[in-house]
Amino acid sequence: MNHPADLKYSSDHEWVKVEGTTARIGISDFAQDNLGDIVWVDLPAQGLHVEANGAFSEVESTKSVSEIFAPVSGTIVEVNDQLQDAPELLNRDPYGTGWICVVEMSDPTELDSLLDAAAYESLIGDE
């Protein structure tokens, strides 16, 4: 499994790529692999305020429906509209074209509670 070292990870299997004051968010390779073929994504609305650890999206796969949790608090400033017509991008390229949204962080110190790649790999090794 691929877990890029330049990303932060939540214990709920979301990833964060910090880009200045924004956080690009998606689901990890581990998450997409466990979900199976993703067939639908409920994208959050641009302008929505999200709280860290609060659900803001859902993905439906051939196995289940799963909530996606915000790893950081802030306002959604961009959503990946490509997922509406191609939800399989979450499976095919979870760290590239399969991102879900970009959040303008209201409290960047929340990043300190996220895992680095090594800690995340240790976490999923136990699952």
Tell me, yes or no, whether 58 lies in a domain.
yes
Tell me, yes or no, whether 3 lies in a domain.
no
Q: What CATH number is attached to the domain comprising 65? A: 2.40.50.100
- Token duo for residue 6: 């330049």
Tell me, yes or no, whether 115 lies in a domain.
yes
What is the pLDDT tens value at each position of the chain, 127 positions in all?
A: 779 999 999 999 999 999 999 999 999 999 999 999 999 999 999 999 999 999 999 999 999 999 999 999 999 999 999 999 999 999 999 999 999 999 999 999 999 999 999 999 999 986 5
Tell me, yes or no, whether 95 lies in a domain.
yes
Split into its structural domains, the chain has a count of: 1
Query: Structural domain of residue 110, as residue ranges?
Result: 8-119
Q: What is the pTM of this model?
A: 0.94
